[in-house]
């Protein structure tokens, strides 16, 4: 898994380096100057950095504390309810927040010509990202499982009864396979979250309208907290070592604040209505939406809702459904202010 961490960190650094450069461009639509107030906007941006950083850190670390706080342990029913709520938040983020932004970017009147013509490119990009996530998810899990089976399963010691030895090896293999699966899910989910977090951060940091930034501070703080809880739940189940947990939690907590800082730094040259910015942001948003929708439905909700523990507990099943609806509903309502 060390190699996966290195690849993940490399991709993230490249994304941060390249994105601010490709979003520069010449204005094709007239900007609205009426609501601009650089001094007031900067105050809100600094407040956003602090609140989003704290909320994200608390959100992603709460499930990790399940090791010391029994009430938050993955074996407890409350853990399923929290994950269902967080999955609802992530699902709503993909459908209600990120995907509509992608459609708006890629169908903007500020684009003189659409290179893709009348083709629904936004939906296509989201679909390709979802399929790509499925492929990465499946291949990574298959490779990790195959690697473990070759290096460990063949060396299982047979006890007095051959059947007992086989059963012992099978249980050990099954448990490790599930653990590897959770680790793949954690890495892919964090990748999808980080992509759209960078976009959101840069957009907020580059804005000079207090009226635009002010409602986003509360909305993104709420969003970051519960999205962090969903990711933290996956990290907890993956049972990473302390170093791995620290890296994943740190990247999640810092991504949006760093994006805001980058946006502040390039606000003088950044034009959100330039063709280049619209296309780049639109494609990234569409891809992020596809990843988040796939991960929330397949790797979070389907995995937990089909879990034997939930299937045999009607009260837990009902509670998880209510939590899911509440999470999706609360995040959807924030679209009115975000």
Please, what's the b/e burial string for 176-215 (b: 16 or more CB within 10 A of its CB; e: otherwise)?
bbeebbbbbbbbbbbbbbbbbbbbbbbbbbbbbbbebbbe
Q: How many other β-carbons are positioned within 10 Å of the β-carbon of residue 2?
A: 9
Structure tokens at 18: 């390249």
Predicted structure pTM score: 0.75
Tokens 């996966």 locate to: 4
- Give the separation between CA 6 and CA 296, rounded to whole angstroms: 25
C-alpha closest to that of 211 among 41, 89, 42, 334: 41
Residue 37 burial (C-beta neighbours within 10 Å; 0-12, 13-18, 19+): middle
Residuewise pLDDT in 10s, the chain (338 residues): 445 556 555 555 555 555 544 444 444 465 545 467 788 888 999 999 999 999 999 989 888 876 677 666 777 888 889 889 989 988 998 899 889 989 998 888 888 776 777 888 999 999 999 999 899 888 877 877 777 677 765 554 444 454 555 444 444 545 677 788 888 888 888 888 888 888 888 888 888 888 878 888 888 888 888 888 888 888 888 888 888 899 999 999 999 999 999 989 888 787 778 888 888 888 988 998 999 899 899 888 998 899 888 999 999 999 999 999 999 998 888 776 55
DSSP 113: S
Concatenated DSSP letters of 176-222:
HHHHHHHHHHHHHHHHHHHHHHHHHHHHHHH---HHHHHHHHHHHHH
Measured over the CA atoms of residue 59, residue 60, residue 63 and residue 66, the dihedral's sign is negative
- Give the separation between CA 179 and CA 99, rounded to whole angstroms: 31
Please, what's the b/e burial string for 44-80 (b: 16 or more CB within 10 A of its CB; e: otherwise)?
bbeebbebbbebbbbbbbbbbebeeeeebeeeeeebb
Cβ contacts of 222 within 8 Å, gap of 6 or more: 55, 330, 331, 334
- Give the separation between CA 268 and CA 263, rounded to whole angstroms: 9
- List 24's β-bridge partners, or say none: 270
- Give the separation between CA 307 and CA 227, rounded to whole angstroms: 21
Q: How many other β-carbons are positioned within 10 Å of the β-carbon of residue 4?
A: 15
- Give the separation between CA 263 and CA 198, rounded to whole angstroms: 10
DSSP 270: B
- Give the separation between CA 211 and CA 233, rounded to whole angstroms: 34
pLDDT given for residue 93 in this prediction = 87
């Amino acid at each position: 898994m060390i190699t996966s961490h290195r690849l993940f960190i490399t991709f993230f650094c490249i994304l941060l380096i390249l994105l601010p450069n490709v979003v520069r461009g010449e204005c094709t639509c007239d900007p609205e100057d009426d609501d601009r107030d650089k001094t007031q906007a900067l105050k809100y941006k600094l407040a956003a950095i602090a609140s989003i950083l704290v909320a994200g850190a608390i959100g992603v670390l709460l499930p990790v504390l399940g090791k010391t706080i029994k009430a938050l342990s993955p074996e407890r029913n409350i853990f399923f309810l929290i994950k269902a709520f967080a999955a609802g938040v992530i699902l709503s983020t993909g459908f209600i927040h990120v995907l509509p932004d992608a459609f708006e970017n890629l169908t903007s009147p500020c684009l003189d010509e659409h290179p893709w013509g009348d083709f629904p490119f936004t939906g296509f990009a989201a679909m390709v990202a979802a399929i790509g996530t499925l492929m990465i998810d499946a291949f990574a899990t298959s490779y990790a499982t195959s690697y473990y089976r070759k290096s460990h399963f063949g060396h299982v010691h047979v006890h007095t009864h051959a059947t007992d030895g086989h059963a012992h090896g099978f249980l050990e293999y099954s448990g490790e396979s599930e653990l590897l699966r959770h680790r793949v899910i954690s890495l892919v989910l964090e990748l999808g979250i980080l992509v759209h977090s960078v976009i959101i951060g840069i957009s907020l940091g580059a804005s000079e309208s207090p009226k635009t930034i002010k409602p986003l501070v509360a909305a993104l703080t709420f969003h970051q907290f519960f999205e962090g809880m969903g990711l933290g739940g996956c990290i907890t189940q993956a049972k990473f070592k302390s170093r791995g947990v620290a890296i994943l939690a740190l990247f999640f907590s810092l991504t949006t604040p760093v994006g805001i800082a980058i946006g502040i730094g390039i606000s003088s040259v950044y034009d959100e209505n330039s063709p280049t910015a619209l296309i780049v942001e639109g494609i990234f948003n569409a891809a992020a939406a596809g990843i988040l929708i796939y991960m929330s439905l397949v790797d979070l909700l389907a995995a937990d809702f089909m879990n034997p523990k939930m299937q045999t507990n009607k009260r837990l099943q009902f509670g998880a459904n209510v939590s899911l609806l509440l999470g999706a509903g609360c995040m959807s309502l924030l679209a009115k202010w975000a």
